[in-house]
Structure 1
Amino acid sequence: MTNYRRIYTPGATWFFTVNLATRNNNKLLIDKIEQLRQAFRYVKQKHPFIINAIVIMPDHLHCIWTLPVGDSDYSIRWSLIKAHFSRAMEKGEFTSASRQRKNERSIWQRRFWAHLIIDENDFNQHMDYIHRNPVKHGLTKRVVDWRYSSFHYYVKLGIYPSTWGDVETNLMLKPGE
């Protein structure tokens, strides 16, 4: 077994990708969006963090978090979010023998992608990636039409124009513009 090593930097900002175990034609995250939101709220109460940006896709999600000063444990937060969400789902998914032995559900992939944000340019690139993701996956032609995204918040703040990232208008800005 590979020994994965993660970087833990207190108070840092991170980009994450978290996937469902079964991704083909799976719309669980948007079908059960309220349960996912509740899982995030529950964990944020017990282990605070800031969600700087997020997009919920049918079978995966991307987000940027900032942890509190002195706190580096994003893994416990993901473990709790996944567990809280999973408990809210009806049982019945295929579960491998390995997961059965460990009494695990088969809703989420065990691991997740974590990237330490190193500077403002890195932050902006990942923010754009998050908000552009529904267009990239062909779920919509306009970023603003995807409901499950922090993009709307940033439009209200005036950081993005509502037409940013549209396929038709090709108004995707380069980081730093």
Structure 2
Amino acid sequence: MVGYRRNRIAGATYFFTVTLRDRSSDLLVRKIDALRAAWQAAATRVPHTVIAAVVLPDHLHAVLRMDDATANYPRLWQDIKKGFTRRTSQPGKPSAWQSRYWERTVRDESELQAVVDYVHINPLKHGLVTTVADWPHSTFHRYVQRGHLPPDWASDALPMSGTHGEPL
């Protein structure tokens, strides 16, 4: 088996994509309260700050700053996945999650802005909504509330700035 190395730097910021096995599932949004509860429980064990996140039907994206000395995001995702599985699956059934996840260390402020924009625009990119503000499971609303983004960001009424494609 190939040894996979993860870049773990205390205090660093990471971009994650975590996916369900069944890409046609809507489990994450259908059981959003279970996901929130699992994430909150995991956060008590692995300190981190959510910079941006979006939960889609079959996957989620998150930009997290790891606040623990070991940057133990593998444990964080393990705890979130296990906690969600316990809350949503019947005993003996396999986990709904893919066994791995994708992660990238965010190197600088311009990359951070690109991945945060990517997270927020993702529901629009997947055709789930016609405006970013219409998707309820996103930190976009927190950014609007704090005055960092206008409510009509990424809509036809307001041209987007920056890049909104796949992260670098």
Structure 2-normalised TM-score? 0.92
Decide whether aligned partners of structure 1 residues 110 and 174 sit closer, same or farther in structure 2, where only a CA change above 3 A counts: same
Structure 2 match to 1:7: 7
Question: 2:61 maps to what in 1?
Answer: 62
Note if contact 2:46-2:72 (Cα within 8 Å) is conserved in structure 1: no
Q: Does 1:115 align with 2:104?
A: yes
Look up the match of 1:169.
157
- Name the Cα RMSD after superposition: 1.6
Aligned to 2:72: 73
Q: Is the 8 A contact 2:89 2:95 kept in 1?
A: no
**Residue 149 (str. 1) matches residue 134 (str. 2):** no
Give the superposition deviation at 1:171.
Answer: 2.0
Moved over 4 A (4+): none
Q: Which runs of 5+ in 1 are unaligned?
A: 96-104
Q: Secondary structure at the match of 1:88?
A: helix
For structure 2, the residue ranges without an aligned partner over 5 or more in a row are: 164-168
TM-score normalised by the chain length of structure 1: 0.87
Structure 1 letter corresponding to 2:9: T
Distance, in Å, in 2 between the alignment partners of 1:130 and 1:18 is 12
Shift in Å at residue 64 of structure 1? 0.6
The reply to whether residue 106 of structure 1 matches residue 95 of structure 2 is yes
> Closer, same or farther in 2 for the Cα pair 1:107/1:155, shift >3 Å?
same
Count of aligned pairs between the two proteins:
163
The residue that corresponds to 2:46 in the other structure is 47
The aligned runs of 1:81-92 (5 Å cut-off) are: 81-91=80-90
Larger Rg: 1
Q: CA deviation at 1:158?
A: 1.0
Q: Give me the whole-angstrom Cα distance separating, in 2, the residues matched to 1:32 and 1:107.
A: 12
Among the aligned pairs, what percent are the same residue?
A: 38
